[in-house]
Amino acid sequence: MISLIRIFCPLLFITMISYTSQGQGLTLYKGISTVSKNLSIRIGSTPDSIHLNRYLGDDIGQLLGYWEAGTYRNGLPNATNLMVWHLGFDSFITHLLTTCAGHTLEFLDPQYREFLFSFCKWPSPEVRNAEVLEKFWIQHMAYDAPYSEFLSWKALFLSETYQTTYAPDALRDMWFAIFINPHFLLKK
Amino acid sequence: MRFSRAVCAVFAILFTLSCTDNKELHQQLSKNSTNDLTAPAPVEPRTFADNWEKQIWMNKVAQDLRYGIGLCRRDPLPELLKMNSLEIVDYFLKDPLFAETVLDFNMYFLGFKVDQLRVKETRAGFTDIYYAPQVFDTPSAVASAQEILKDGNYLKLLEYQQPLYMRPLWRVYPDEKGNPRTRQQVFSQMDSALAKAIQLGEEATPDKIKICEFADQMFNGYYEVGFHNLLINQITQSENNYIYDYFKYCFGRNFPLANFIDSMKKQAALMPKIWELIQILEPDAYPNRTVADIKSVDPEILIGKPTSMTMFRNNFWRNFQNSSTNMNRKRGAYILKQFFCDDLTPIDIVIPENHTGGRHGDEPSCYACHYKLDPMSGFFRYKGDKGRSFKDSSYILFDDRADRDSQSYFAHWKAPANSGREWNVGYVRSLQFPENNVYGDDLPDLFRLIQTAPEVKACLVKKMFRYFVSENQNVDRGYLQFLSEEFIEGAKQNSSLALKQTIRRIVHSNAYSQNDAVDTQCYDYRPGENPAGKPPCKVSYLLEKHCASCHQGDSAAKGLDLTKWIKIETAWTFPHKKLDGTQETPKETFRKISERLATANQNLRMPLKRFISPQDQEQIYLWIEEVRRAQ
């Protein structure tokens, strides 16, 4: 099955570009360090346990926004660096998905590991319900995005499209839809 | 429905978000903070549509005030949800992690912000997390952040003399083959290399190559022990020391061996004291978890004489090198940009007709910057290669290794004979109104000026707004002025509390809580200000401040009212009546304003025979030009 989110990607990119083109269009990426730190705080075992650079390489990570000598560099979203984000998240998600194959990922918070493992049962009603999806959303996005963003995301994964989707595919799409969300990636 | 959503969210966040839960450290550091967070002027608490919206705001405040750590398990979320927004901000301001935010902001203010304040380093199998080297190279940022923890003098940020902070040292020292050595082994090697170099130097026919080989081993030892930060500062702060003489003897031509031997002997005498210092910086004895942990050491131990360290360290001298022809302009531009928020935008509106004299800096397009850049650069004129002082030397050596006779070099900044001052060194606000300028001689004078100039504190507040809201967000100058005035007033009593009050205001601003802010729009105005019908916020306050006394209302000079903003067909403009009482075209109105702002004729230039700061003048002029381009 072609993952739905891959079809959505161009749309998400357009959303992000239009998000950044408000006013003078200077909304920038938070940068790979900040995004890694946010993920570490939210799902990691320690506040610095997740380094997205690991999935890209240090030099590539610099294409996604970083501070150097008082100047913020490479933070402006464009088609190329969005693809780099996509590649980084793709590898990261693949790594996370090994949980469903029984691997224990030490860099993840133990409670989160357990929570994640329960999602391997998707589309079981045990996890495919509004309450658990809200928990999943907050776990990753925290309160970076307005409620309307959550509602759209939830509606998608409670829709028929994901009624019978194989768990790793559903999880991959759920993560992508959060990680590529402008509220997750961009400074405000 | 909303209630259940809120309850659900509370549980979700309680059970899911995780963060470092170092309660002991939190309590210990909170105890040190004697925060009296009473606001000198009331800030209105925010209202929220529902708990979700409140949590979005709380999470953002938490992230901003705790250096990226949003709401997490250790936060008492149900209690926080019951608090009003002011209490919430105060809760996060009391968190010891707030000092990390202050440190990060200070580095941003000084133009040395790094991607991460702390970095993980692995060496021969040992992994430690240290503050980034740049942090130790920005001592005023550290000193000021440490003051915040005890509600002390935050404005140490603007002081010239600063402590010497040292990072913990390495745990192990691999040799060339990667085999681990103890620190004591490295140190003993340094000791014996130095002794050998002295011995070779005192031989009847000294072999320079061999002497330098051993002197080099001693030099490299500094790097190995992890003292390179101090090593570089030793070069910049002291004229007669081992490191500098090593360079002069081994890489120069005419430096007498006897002087180098003397330096080496002095250095040998210092070694036991250095070893004592090393024990203090032992990583096991020196945890490096928070800003409060960062230790300073007495530089005298390493330099061998009473030494005061300044705020400028290796990162500054390396980034702002000076050549024999640059005349310290990079350094002057740095001070204007970082401390005065003056980007030196070259606009030709300050050029007096009688000041052009044939040099590059006197050409009209260049003079627009040089009139203030050159006097500012003059504060650095005694500083040569790597920031070393050549004040009392007959020559000055530059970073490009060129040298010049010092007196003729310094003479570039000599003031005219009838000026009443020796040097044309200072902060020049205006050429027309020199009584507004402040002159001095050297860097301590510059920092006395920086500590008192209102422009610097206004710049600090402006950068605070940019740091917490957005770098590109438009902001009403009147609102910034209001924030600055409150900060300046508050700082007279306690600068830490004043900083917290400014932050409290900023996180309560409308701009801060916008989910999808339009960066060209202003969201906040000074209390009592109604922007309706006024010119765009970018200049409205400035026009009112500098122009409204003549250009306001029905009797506005030349029929031009600069306090109102009207739409003529499709274009926005000022009410501007021609002699016949009809409205002037927008194009013509802006052309005339631009002309009167830029003319060199002092009888025509606006504001007429009145002082305007370069920053305000620049902002108005650039905006006018922006409007003209869009027409």
Rounded Cα–Cα distance for residues B392 and B388 (Å): 11
Residue B617 has pLDDT above 70, yes or no: yes
CA dihedral A153, A157, A160, A162 (to 10 degrees): 140
Does B350 score more than 80 pLDDT? no
Tens of pLDDT, residue by residue over B520-557, are 899 999 988 899 999 999 899 999 999 988 998 888 88
In percent, how much of chain B has pLDDT > 70? Answer: 87
Mean pLDDT value of segment B170-192: 83
E strand intervals along B306-424: 395-397, 403-405
Look at residue B28 and tell me whether its pLDDT is greater than 50: no
Answer yes or no: is pLDDT of B171 > 60.
yes
Q: Do A139 and B517 touch (CB under 8 A)?
A: no
Q: What is the pLDDT of residue A6?
A: 53
The complex scores an ipTM of 0.86
Residue B360, pLDDT score? 53
Query: Of B444, B144, B399, which Cα lies nearest the Cα of B308?
Result: B444
> What is the structure's pLDDT at B41?
60
In the stretch 387-416 of chain B, residues with CB closer than 8 A to chain A read none
A39, A31 Cβ separation under 8 angstroms: no
Percent of chain B clearing pLDDT 90 (strictly above): 48
Instruction: Record the tokens describing residue B392, joined without a space.
Output: 């009392």
Both tokens of B417, joined, read 């004979």
Helix (H, G, I), strand (E, B), or coil: what is residue B423? Answer: strand
Q: Is A46 on the interface with B (CB under 8 A)?
A: yes
Q: Given this model, what pLDDT does residue B2 score?
A: 45
What does the block give as tokens for B316?
A: 């500054």
Q: Nearest to residue B627, comparing CAs of B539, B553, B533?
A: B539
Of these ranges, B36-45, B125-134, B403-412, the one predicted with the greatest mean pLDDT is: B403-412
Angle at B439 between CA B438 and CA B443, to 5 degrees: 110
Determine the residue among A29, A35, A41 to mutate to test chain B binding: the one whose Cβ has the most chain B Cβ atoms within 10 Å: A41
pLDDT at A9 over 60: no
Contact B561, B576 (CB under 8 A): yes
Tell which wins on pLDDT, B611 or A180: A180
Residues of B in contact with A46 (CB under 8 A): 20
Helix axes B454-468, B329-340, angle to 10 degrees: 70
What confidence score (pLDDT) does residue B16 get? Answer: 41
**Which of the listed ranges B8-12, B501-505, B533-537 does the model predict with the highest average pLDDT?**
B501-505
The distance of Cα B620 from the centroid of its chain, to the nearest Å, equals 25
% of chain A residues with pLDDT over 90: 77
Q: What is the DSSP string of A26-70?
A: ---B--HHHHHHHHHHHHBSSTT---GGGGT-HHHHGGG-EEETT
Which one of B2, B11, B14, B17 makes the best mutation probe of the A interface by having the most chain A beta carbons within 10 Å? B17
Rounded to the nearest 10°, the torsion over CA A17, A18, A23, A27 is: -40
Q: For residues B163 and B184, what is the distance between their CA atoms, to the nearest angstrom?
A: 27
Six-digit token string for B487:
């900060």
DSSP result, A9-30: HHHHHHHHHHHHTSTTS---B-
Range with top average pLDDT, B105-109, B293-297, B576-580: B105-109
Cβ <8 Å between B68 and A26: no
Which residue, among B100, B99, B102, B62, has the nearest Cα to B80 in the 3D structure? B62
Question: In which band, very low, low, confident or very high, does the pLDDT at B380 lie, cut at 50, 70 and 90?
Answer: very high
Cα–Cα distance for residue pair A187/B6, rounded to 1 Å: 26
- Enumerate long-range contacts of A4-9, CB under 8 Å, 24 or more apart: A4/A156, A4/A161, A4/A162, A4/A173, A5/A172, A5/A173, A5/A176, A5/A177, A8/A177, A9/A86, A9/A176, A9/A180
| Residue pair B171/B128 in contact by the 8 Å Cβ criterion | yes
Task: Tell me whether residues B18 and A44 touch, CB distance under 8 A.
Answer: yes
Query: Worst-scoring range by mean pLDDT, A130-134, B154-158, B318-322?
Result: B318-322
B351 contacts B600 by C-beta, under 8 angstroms: yes
Cβ <8 Å between A142 and B17: yes
The residues, ordered by sequence, that sit 6+ positions from B555 with a Cβ below 8 Å of its Cβ are none
| Mean pLDDT within B287-302 | 83
> Do the Cβ atoms of B112 and A70 come within 8 Å?
yes
Q: Has residue B24 got a pLDDT over 60? A: no
Among A11-25, B16-30, B178-192, which stretch is predicted with the lowest mean pLDDT? Answer: B16-30
State the sign of the Cα–Cα–Cα–Cα dihedral A135, A136, A139, A142: negative
Closest partner residue to B59 (CB to CB) among A139, A142, A187 is A142
Residues 6+ apart with CB under 8 A from B381: B327, B328, B409, B410, B412, B413, B425
Instruction: Tell me the H-state helices in B39-138.
Output: 51-65, 77-82, 85-93, 98-109, 133-136
B191: phi > 0 → left, psi -120 to 50 → alpha, else beta; which? alpha
Give the pLDDT score at B286.
Answer: 81
Contacts of B8 in chain A (CB under 8 A): 131, 134
Q: What is the pLDDT of residue B393?
A: 87
The structure's pTM equals: 0.87
Of A180, A141, A185, A177, nearest in space to A159 by CA: A177
Residue-wise pLDDT for B250-282, tens only, equals 887 788 999 999 989 988 888 888 788 777 787
B176: exposed, middle or buried (C-beta count within 10 Å: 0-12, 13-18, 19+)?
exposed
Residue B434 has pLDDT above 60, yes or no: yes
Poorest-pLDDT segment among B292-306, B403-417, B615-629: B292-306
Hey, what are B285's tokens? 């004895």
CA separation, residue A45 to residues A93, A94, A105, B19 (Å): 17, 18, 10, 8
| CA separation for the pair A35, A183 (Å, rounded) | 11
Identify the pLDDT of residue B423.
95
**Contact at 8 Å (CB) between B201 and B264?**
yes
3-state secondary structure of B571: strand
Does residue B21 surpass a pLDDT of 90?
no
Please give the biggest Cα pair distance in chain B.
100
User: Of A65-79, B4-18, B113-127, B225-239, where does mean pLDDT reach its minimum?
Assistant: B4-18
Task: Inform me whether the pLDDT recorded for B308 exceeds 70.
Answer: yes
**Contacts of residue A42, Cβ cutoff 8 Å, sequence gap at least 6:** A139, A140, A142, B16, B17, B18, B70
Confidence (pLDDT) at B322: 92
**Which pLDDT score, from 0 to 100, does residue B230 have?**
61
Compute the C-alpha angle B345/B347/B348, nearest 5°: 150
pLDDT digits (tens, 9 = 90+) for A35-57: 999 999 999 998 889 999 999 98
- CA pair distance B512, B510, nearest whole angstrom: 5
The pLDDT assigned to B185 comes to 87
Q: Report the pLDDT averaged over residues B428-455.
A: 93
pLDDT at B283 over 60: yes
Residues of A in contact with B15 (CB under 8 A): 111, 135
- pLDDT greater than 80 at residue B30: no
User: In angstroms, rounded to a whole number, what is the distance separating the alpha carbons of residues B214 and B155?
Assistant: 45
Host H or E run for residue B573 = strand B571-573
**A152 Cβ contact partners less than 8 Å away, ≥ 6 residues apart:** none
Cα separation of B19 and B12, whole Å?
Answer: 14
Q: Give dist(CA B248, CA A167) in Å, integer.
A: 70
Averaged pLDDT for residues B170-183: 80
- pLDDT tier, A136 (very low <50, low <70, confident <90, very high otherwise): very high
Give the other-Cβ count within 10 Å of B225's Cβ. 21
pLDDT of B395 over the 60 cut: yes
- With 80 as the cut, is the pLDDT of residue A8 above it? no
Q: Assess A6–B contact: CB distance below 8 Å, yes or no.
A: no
Q: Residues of B numbered 335-354 whose beta carbons fall under 8 angstroms of chain A's beta carbons: which are they?
A: none
Residue B36 has pLDDT above 80, yes or no: no
| C-alpha to C-alpha distance for B412 and B405, rounded to whole angstroms | 12
Q: How confident is the model at residue B595 (pLDDT cuts 50, 70, 90)?
A: confident
Q: pLDDT band at residue B109, thresholds of 50, 70 and 90?
A: very high
Rounded distance, CA B516 to CA B31, Å? 38
As a whole number of Å, the CA-based R_g of chain A is: 16
B70 to A41: CB separation less than 8 angstroms, yes or no? yes
CB contact under 8 Å between B19 and A41, yes or no, is yes
Mean pLDDT (chain B) is: 85
